[in-house]
Amino acid sequence: MTATRERPTAPAPVQPRLGAVGTLRFAWRQLTSMRTALFLLLLLAVAAVPGSVLPQRGVNAGQVTTYLQQHPTSGPWVDRLGGFDVYSSVWFSAIYLLLFVSLVGCVLPRCRQHWGALRARPPRAPARLDRLPAHVAAEVDGDPERTLAAAQAALRRRGFRVDVRDGSISAERGQLRESGNLLFHLSLVVLLVAVAAGHLLGWRGDVIVPVGSSFSNAVPSYDSLDAGPWVDSERLPPFSLDVDSMTVRFEEQQTGSQLGAPREFRARVTSRDGPEAAPRTTSVSVNHPLELDGAKVFLLGNGYAPVITVRDGTGRVVYSQATPFVPQDGSYTSLGAVKAPGAEPEQLGLVGWFLPTAVIDDKGPHSVFPDLKNPALTLTAFAGDLNLSSSAAQSVFTLDTSKMRQLRTSNGDLVRLLIAPGETKELPDGKGSVTFERVERFAGLSIRHDPARGWALGAAVAAMLGLALSLFVPRRRVFVRVRAVQPRAAGDGPRTLVEVGGLSRGEDAGLEDEVARVLAAAGGPTAGRTSEERG
């Protein structure tokens, strides 16, 4: 325990040539030094920054695509350097892995040392107590043994481990400080492992479910599913759920940026843990996920699913369902598509906007409020081959029009259908008709499974506990030495010179008081008086 709180390290070997083992050992010692730890920590902070400036695939893949389009020359380079996947890039991983290797290499030997120190006797009192950072002395009444015993009792009461040797006391407290520090660092390792395990063993999927529809937990049901490498995605837990209704509320009072801000989203759902299990009715809302068989169901998005019916030229219904349109702005101007592969004589496709509060002006059709004040669909129509047989995956929200032709009215204008709920519009050339039956809402659900979540939480809590101990438990050593002195006058009782010295690890404002208290207990002036005398 020195004033600089450097971990005691063995003196560096002074050798002209190190050899292979020596070089390794030297490298290891460098890696596990405080200086390297500090360097890696700062490097980690710097390395984390680009990920907040550049768009990240894991957060928003769409923005990455836009960025690449806007920066055709620099974009691919940024990509090659891992700029869009900073937190899984080689260099970021290298930094934190080195940091954690350093951490383990630093902490394990400290654990061993600490384990020894916990059971060792406190060290002997140094020869000169007045060299210690805190030191007080006084002559008191009483003989040395009694004085020493009083000091010893006081130290015990204060939670010190006390050892008496050759007329002096060595006392030590606050081993918990080091224990806490080790707990903190080890918990960080556990936390890292838990995060990694979550990635390997967890899965997360997103799906849009219109009100009145149901979802069962299997790969084909998902719009997107991201499963860890160790997950058997054929064997996801077989739960299912129906979305019965949605409650959505938006700010109507305000003007300015808060108008139309979301105020409440809630979905009522009926869920089953398996095909045979009994149904349960509950609700899911933002911040209140639903727990199903080890997975959690979150309500992350919502929007509108107009119920659209398409008849082909023969008058047959070839499409009729709630069709989710994805919101593109805060007023829920939403984009979507209808694909009717069964239409005769040609396949039909519709693409366009759903507007909950429609306004059509020189900006084109758009919505001015997210709630259903004046709902309308504006669609363009295509006929031909929807290209669904090709192997490339298609988004359900757009059409692949490469083999289609856009429909025109008899005078050659492109067809643009503007349909209100309940209305039906005819397609030109007797191609059929489109009916906008009504509007349902949809729930954007995100379903997640992370088996290591509990471990991560436990490790975080342990780390906080360790940190608190490490920063707030004072670690002190106190030494007491006594010596008989001449009574002031013949006939007086015996007199003793008591010397108390203390030192602590780190900043410790309470050390002076501790030392003064021990002196007071040994018969010296009380704490208050000492500080006055000293001041």
Q: By CB under 8 A, what part of segment 187-246 binds other proteins?
A: 195, 204
**From ligand HEM, other proteins, none, interface partner of 493 (C-beta below 5 to 8 A by class):** none
How far is residue 526's CA from residue 518's CA, in Å, rounded to a whole number?
9
Pick the closer one to ligand HEM by CB: 45 or 388.
Answer: 45
User: Which listed option, ligand HEM, other proteins, none, makes contact with residue 143 (CB within 5 to 8 Å by class)?
Assistant: none
Q: Which residues contact 450 (CB under 8 A, 6 or more apart)?
A: 198, 201, 202
> CB neighbours of 296 closer than 8 A, spacing ≥ 6?
289, 290, 447, 448, 449
Distance between CA atoms of 243 and 443, rounded to whole angstroms? 8
**Nearer residue to other proteins within complex by CB, 225 or 350:** 225
Residue 391 C-alpha from the chain's centroid = 37
Residue 436 or residue 442: which is nearer to other proteins going by CB?
442
| Residue 253 binds other proteins (CB under 8 A) | yes
Query: Can residue 37 be called a binding residue for ligand HEM (CB under 6 A)?
Result: yes
Q: Does 106 bind ligand HEM (CB under 6 A)?
A: yes
Amino acid identity, residue 498?
V
Q: Closest separation between CB of residue 171 and other proteins, Å?
A: 19
Residue window 446-475: x/- pattern of binding to ligand HEM, with contact defined by CB under 6 A:
------------------------xx----
Q: Total residues contacting ligand HEM (rule CB under 6 A)?
A: 17
Cβ 355 vs Cβ 333: under 8 Å: yes
Residues 313-372 that bind other proteins (CB under 8 A): none
Contacting residues for 355 by C-beta, under 8 A, at least 6 apart: 332, 333, 334, 365, 366, 367, 374, 375, 376, 377, 378
Binding to ligand HEM (CB under 6 A) within 156-215 occurs at 181, 185, 188
Number of residues this chain uses to bind other proteins (CB under 8 A): 73
Residue whose entry in the numeric block shows the structure tokens 């043994």? 145
102 binds, among other proteins, ligand HEM, none (CB under 5 to 8 A by kind): ligand HEM
Residue 242 neighbours by CB under 8 Å, 6+ apart: 212, 213, 214, 215, 269, 270, 271
Q: How far apart are CA 400 and CA 394, in angstroms?
A: 8
CB of 503 to other proteins, least distance (A): 9
Give me the phi and psi of 37, to 5 degrees please: -55, -45
Taking the complex as a whole, how short is the minimal distance between the CB of residue 180 and ligand HEM, in angstroms? 7
Q: Which does 463 bind (CB under 5 to 8 A by kind): ligand HEM, other proteins, none?
A: other proteins
* Residue 524 burial (CB count, 10 A): 23
Nearer to other proteins among residue 35 and residue 119 (C-beta):
35
Cβ 34 to ligand HEM, closest distance in Å?
Answer: 5
Residue from 437, 453, 494, 497 in contact with other proteins (CB under 8 A): 453
- Whole-number Cα distances in Å, 7 to 35, 110, 160, 263: 11, 9, 23, 54
Residue nearest to ligand HEM (CB): 106
Provide the pairing of β-strand 404-406 with 364-367. unpaired
Residue 285 phi, psi (nearest 5): -140, 170
Q: What does the chain come to in residues?
A: 535
Which CB atom, from 27 or from 300, has the smaller least distance to other proteins? 300
User: Binding marks (x or -) toward other proteins, 160..179, rule CB under 8 A?
Assistant: --------------------
Residue 263 interacting with other proteins (CB under 8 A): yes
How many angstroms separate the CA atoms of 275 and 239, rounded?
A: 7
- In angstroms, the CA 261 to CA 257 distance is 8
Residues numbered 37-96 forming contacts with other proteins, rule: CB under 8 A: 37-38, 41-42, 44-45, 48-49, 51-53, 56, 58-59, 86-87
| Binds 253: which of other proteins, ligand HEM, none (CB < 5-8 Å by kind) | other proteins
Residue 97 near ligand HEM by CB under 6 A: no
With contacts defined by CB under 8 A, name the span among 73-81, 377-385, 442-450, 479-487 that binds other proteins.
442-450
What does the binding site for ligand HEM look like in residue numbers (CB under 6 A)? 5, 7, 32-34, 37, 41, 99, 102-103, 106, 181, 185, 188, 470-471, 506
